[in-house]
Structures are given as C-alpha cells and as structure tokens.
Amino acid sequence: MSDDPAVELEARLEEQESFEPPASFVEQANVSDEGIRERFAEEWPECWTEAADLLTWDETYDEVLDDSDAPHYEWFTGGSLNASANCLDRHVANGAKNRAAIKWEGELGETRTYTYGDLLNEVEAFAASLRDLGVEEDDVVTLYMPMIPELPIAMLACARIGAPHSVVFAGFSADALATRMNSAESEYLVTCDGYYRRGDALNHKEKTDNGLRGVEGDVETVVVDRLGDELTHFLGEHAHDYGELVEAHEGASVEPVSRDAEDMLFLMYTSGTTGEPKGVKHTTGGYLAYTAWTSQAVLDVKPEDTYWCAADIGWITGHSYIVYGPLALGTTTMMYEGTPDYPERDRLWKLIEKNRVDTFYTAPTAIRSFMKWGTEYPERHDLSSLRLLGTVGEPINPRAWKWYYKHIGNEKCPIVDTWWQTETGGMMVTTLPGIDTMKPGSAGPPLPGVDAQVVDANDDPVEAGEAGYLTVQKPWPGMLRTLYKNDERFIDEYWREYSDPDTDEWVYFPEDGAKLDDDGYITVLGRVDDVINVSGHRLGTMEIESAIVGVSGVAEAAVVGGTHDVKGEAVYTYVILEDGQEPTEKMRERVVEGVEDAIGPIARPEEVIFTPELPKTRSGKIMRRLLEDVASGAELGDTSTLRNPEIVAEIQAQVNED
Ligand code: WT7
C-alpha cells in the first residue's frame, strides 16, 4: 500500500466490483420502492398506467394494452392527447410559465433561455407557419438541423398540428437526407443556413440544397438563420425564412390537435443489416408515457432540476431524453451546440458549473475521451451540483465507469448505464439509481415491467453466468409500432428469430448478445448482426459497403468493425479493385469520400485495406469474423475452412504495415 491517499483510493476503486447508491441520493430519489419490480410484474400490463398517469389526456384510454394483432401491439387504446400540450401548455397553466424550459449555449458562447411561456409562444407561431405552408395532419415534416433551439421548437410545432417529424442528423450527408425524405415521401423540410464546429462556420444550406436535388417533387423548405451575416444563402421560390415566418405569426394561437394514442408522433431512421435505413415509427401515447416515466424513474428528473443530456437531438437519445421525456416532466433541459473540446477540453465541465447542472447523461465514447485528456480539466471546475450520472449507446468498460464515478461524480453520484435502442423508444435495462447496487460494466436488471431475458438459440433462458441473446419477451409502451410502410420488414427484422406465430408467442429480438450475471444483472456484449457501433452511433456495414462499391474502379468491398480505444469500434474497409486499377493514395481518398458522401463523416473509414481477394468459405461466404480479428489486431480464429487461407496473412501484413 502507498502512503499517498490518492494512489490508495485509485487502488481501492480498481478492485471494487460493486457500488451502493449514496445515502444522500437515496433520500431524495423519485423511486424508492424496493418492491417495484415485483409489483410491476404482478400488475403487468396495468402497471403501465403509472406511466400514462404522468400525462394529461384529452380522452382517457379504454385499454392499457391491446395484443389482439400481435406483434402489432397497441397501448392506451381509445385514449387521445397532444404531445406539445403535454410538454408545454399544461406546465404554463400550472404556474411554470417563467421556469426555464430550454437553456441553450452556442459553441461561441452565446446563450439563450426559453421559459415554458416563451417556448409555447414560439411553438405556436411556428405551428401556424407550417400550416400556412400547407402542412396538414399526418404529413411527414423532415427536420435537418444541428443543436439549435429551433430544432426542438420545430419538433413540438409538428407535434402540435399532428404532423409526424422525421429528424435527420445534421452530420449526415446530402444523399442520406434525400434517401430519408424519399422513403418518408416528405414534402416539407426545416433546415438552417449553417452552424459552428470548432469555431468554423459550416455551410449546412449548401448540403441541404444538394440533398434536395435528389428528392422528387417540390419541397417547401424553411431555413433558420443561425449564422446571421456570416453566411448568406439563397432563398428560392419554395424556401422561406424561419424568422420572418415566426414574426408574421407572432401571438398566433394554435389549438393542439388531439391525437389518438396510437397516432404516429415521429419517424426516426436507423441502420440495419441491409443497405436501406429503417424508418422506425413511434406513437404519441405509449412513447410519451414511456419516456416521461423512465426520465422520472431512471434519470430522477424533478421539475426544479437543470438536466443535461449531452447527446444530439438527431438521434433517439436526444428525442427521448433531451426533448420529450424532460419537457413532459416540466424540467429545465440543456442544449449545447458544439464540441466538448472547444475552445478547451473543459467546455462541458464549465457548462455544468455555470448552470449548476443536476444530472448529466452522455456516452461511453465521450467518457473515454475525457479520460484520455486527463483529470486536470474537470478539476478546474466545481461539479458539486451533480447528483446523478448516466451513460448510453454502447457497453462501458469498468475503467471508464470508475473514472466517471470518481472524477465527475466525486463518488457521490450514482451512475445509470442504460441499455436501449432507437426501436425501444426508451430505456429497458438499467439500475434504478435510488435502489440498486451498481456494477461497473453491467447495465443492470431489466426495468420494472420490462421482461428482458438472455436466452439461447432455442429461446430458453440461459443459466446464470452464461452468455446468449438478449430478448424482450413482453411488449412495452415505448416500443416501435412498425417500420414505416413496411410491416413485413418489421416482423422479419425483430420478431422472426424467436417467435412462434402458431402459438401467437412473440419475442422481440434487438440483435444484441448479452451475459446473464449471477444476480440477474445483464451485461450487454454488443451487436450480433452486421451493425457496428462507432462512438455510440449505429452504422450498417451493408450501407457502407454499397457506398464503396459505388466508387468507380471498385469491384467488391467488405466492411467490419475493429476495436478502437475511444470510439469503441471503428470502420475497417477491405476493398477489391477492378482489374487494371491501382491501389493508389488517390483511390483510397475516393473510397473515403464515397463513404462520407453517402452517409457522413461519422462513417469515415479508419482504414482502407486493398486486397486482391476476401477470405471466403468454400460456399463463397465472406468470413467476416476473420476480417474483424485482423482489424482488431486479435489472434486469428480458425482459417482451415477457407477456400483461400493464404489471403488472410497477406491482408494482416498490410494492416500491420500501416
Ligand atoms: C444499440 C442501439 C439507445 C440510444 C443510443 C443508441 C447499443 C445502447 C447500450 C448500453 C451496451 C448499448 C446496443 C443497441 N447500446 N446502449 N448501455 N450498453 N450497449 O441507439 O443507435 O438504436 O443503437 O446500441 O448494441 O442495440 P441505437
């Protein structure tokens, strides 16, 4: 043992495998009923009225769950409500008009605060504007915007008039925008002129215009002026200025449209095993009830809190836990436009100190970057306002967990490691922060009312200590209802694997592997399909492959994930060129550009490896496992079943050389 208390503490932490919630947290936790899991199991599905009761309904529902057409489950059937009225009007009516709803900070340091009253006014003005442009109930409105307040405003304005939104992450490429708009047959778009990244103004409007060239028909476009004079942009016949519209409709009163609980609230595209992104459909009643309930139970959100989920609203995390869940509960939700290391690596900690943030929710990849940068950055700031920490998006390694616990939470904040997906709408497997013991690296038990189980290939539960497939054996309110206009693919993708339609038994398969611990905790191991997780973002290998084979001169491509110490996984591409093509630097650049143009910089390949052949089995199947081993620098698995075993060593030599 060392005499230095800091070293001693480090050593103790390293060995500690479980952590109890701190007493100071337990005392004030929203959920303190230790019997909640039992109670929810006994009362299932009626237990979910507890979630529905967090909302204000225009018409109460007749039935909690309708499973007559499984797996097309319906929740809170017969009920009706409006999401924007639940996130705004009722709080204003209950005396929270002057409470901050959104606190926003731009990358250059400018700030804006919208009270619930302000937010309602602007949402109504923009809802009226959308109507004027012709948007009707059930029309899909695409929102292609970075982290600026007009994004949640546009979402809520859509929700107010019953027009589902489809948010496309601003970092996605022009082609990705076009694909999603065409798939959703969306004729309306809200975008902006540009935004800041590391101090530089990015031209977003130009990218939007390039995307629109690939969209059929006229699109009415609204452009938010984020950059003022810094960037002039062209407004054509079908493009309108956001500021002018809102000004012209100032003071407008727009009655929230009463939506059926099962009416679509939004679409969110996500990656799957095929090249085509999947349009995940979420509904008004079940989704909103589920995000509100999990925000309360897991994130311990209280109206007087300042709550910060540092995700991007372009992903499901931002939809559920920056916008809908927190605003439904009437709390103050923070938004930050920029990168965590601009102008310095303490930007996030500075924001926490300045805003006295209570809860901070981020991704393991971010925590691994913070770790790499060192403790001096959080140490510069007073983080004592923090009460709870959370992570989401990928498995968190115990070392990163402990670093977060000690250096951000000062050993006083529980950490919730929340497993869920775009399709689940909200959290599914996590500890409850005021009740459960935490085990770094293991997400925890399933939430109350969630029947998540680790099973073997026959859908039989595995023994404690064993690994298998994660499944959800009963429906839950936040679940996706279908893939947009593609019920068949919905069933194929999520319900085929373990269900038995003959006995009407339906089991949801999220395509993740997991291990069941002795105490019933679930340690998520990662995807078992051809989807990779780069910095908590889901990328389909097929999508990337089809972008690469679209580059002229490329004959074939295989894409796999290789382990990466910050990103979790990184994109490795193996490329076969057409005869006569040379593996030049130029060619490499074209492959990288091809991927960025089709998807966006998040999919940028870590390495492009040219090879004359891919390792294939005798039946001609690409041995992806081997390519993954090569990418990760791991020991190679069995190569004896290959038709061309010699190629593996050749590829490996090339990777080592780079
Ligand atoms: C996939 C879903 C949930 C919003 C962000 C990602 C992985 C997510 C965890 C976690 C281990 C996790 C899974 C899942 N994942 N959270 N806490 N521990 N893995 O949403 O893009 O739909 O991706 O992310 O593999 O299937 P998504």
In a domain, 606, yes or no: yes
The torsion angles phi and psi of 102, rounded to 5 degrees, stand at -125, 130
Domain of 599, CATH number, reads 3.30.300.30
Distance 512 CA to ligand 1 centre (A): 9
In a domain, 633, yes or no: yes
- Ligand 1, CB within 6 Å, residue ranges: 270, 316-317, 392-395, 417-422, 443, 510, 512, 524, 526-527, 533, 536, 538
* Predicted pLDDT at 151: 98
Contacts of 462 by beta carbon, 8 Å cutoff, 6+ apart:
454, 455, 456, 468, 516
Would you list the DSSP string of 432-475?
-TTTSPBBTTB-BSBPTT--EEEE-TTSPBPPTT-EEEEEE-S-
Nearest to residue 111, comparing CAs of 356, 319, 337?
337
Q: Which value does ipTM take for this structure?
A: 0.99
In a domain, 283, yes or no: no
In a domain, 266, yes or no: no
Which atom of ligand 1 is least distant from the CA of 418? 17
Distance 226 CA to ligand 1 centre (A): 31
How confident is the model over 132-170, as pLDDT tens digits?
999 999 999 999 999 999 999 999 999 999 999 999 999
In a domain, 605, yes or no: yes
Residues forming beta bridges with residue 224, ordered by sequence position = 192
* 27: exposed, middle or buried (Cβ count in 10 Å: 0-12, 13-18, 19+): exposed
Report residues of the chain scoring pLDDT below 70.
1-3, 658
Which atom of ligand 1 is least distant from the CA of 311? 5
Side-chain half-sphere CA neighbours of 499 within 13 A: 20
Determine the structural domain holding residue 638 and report its residue range.
530-657
Q: How many domains does the chain have?
A: 1
* Predicted pLDDT at 6: 74
Rounded CA gap, 394 and 417, in Å?
Answer: 9
The torsion angles phi and psi of 388, rounded to 5 degrees, stand at -150, 145
Contacts of 548 by beta carbon, 8 Å cutoff, 6+ apart:
554, 557, 559, 573, 575, 591, 594, 595
Which amino acid belongs to residue 50? E
Side-chain half-sphere CA neighbours of 176 within 13 A: 35
Cβ neighbours around 209 below 10 Å, total: 17
Q: Give the predicted TM-score (pTM) of the model.
A: 0.95
Distance 360 CA to ligand 1 centre (A): 18
Q: Closest Cα to atom 6, ligand 1: which residue?
A: 393
* Predicted pLDDT at 229: 78
* Predicted pLDDT at 273: 78
First to last CA, the chain: 42
How confident is the model over 489-532, as pLDDT tens digits?
999 999 988 888 888 899 999 999 999 999 999 999 999 988 99
In a domain, 280, yes or no: no
Report yes or no: 478 and 287 within 8 Å, Cβ to Cβ.
yes
Report yes or no: 224 and 190 within 8 Å, Cβ to Cβ.
yes
Distance 55 CA to ligand 1 centre (A): 27
In a domain, 137, yes or no: no
Element (H, E) at 167: strand 165-167
Which atom of ligand 1 is least distant from the CA of 526? 25
Rounded CA gap, 90 and 376, in Å?
Answer: 43
In a domain, 597, yes or no: yes
Distance 527 CA to ligand 1 centre (A): 9
* Predicted pLDDT at 641: 80
